[in-house]
Amino acid sequence: MRELLADLLLEEGDAASALNEYEASMNNAPERVRGFYGAAKAAEAVGDNDKAAAYFRKLIRLARDADGDRAEIREARQFAVVK
């Protein structure tokens, strides 16, 4: 539920609140692609590139053995290369 609220907050432009909700959701449901990706995007939106990079790295680690080609993982890998 918190991820959905965080998605809405991020979409509405309240990235700081969204980041708080993503981080709270990870306490209850850790190791989720959606949580890491959302937290990274929210951190990026508030200008915390170090935190965004940390969440993107966690996402890459989580998906290291994945077979699929998800857009979120591609974006995480690009962010890691650029930053």
With contact defined as beta carbons under 8 Å apart, do 3 and 32 qualify?
yes
| Mean pLDDT calculated for residue range 48-72 | 86
Q: How many residues does the structure list for the chain?
A: 83
Domains of the chain: 2-82 (1.25.40.10)
**pTM (two decimals):** 0.83
Q: How many Cα atoms are found within 13 Å in the side-chain-facing hemisphere of 25? A: 22
pLDDT band at 54 (very low <50, low <70, confident <90, very high): very high
- Angstrom distances, CA of residue 1 to CA of 5, 28, 35, 40, 53: 6, 10, 11, 18, 24
pLDDT tens digit string along 11-41?
A: 999 999 999 999 999 999 999 989 999 999 9
Place of tokens 């690009």: 78
Give the model's pLDDT for residue 82. Answer: 57
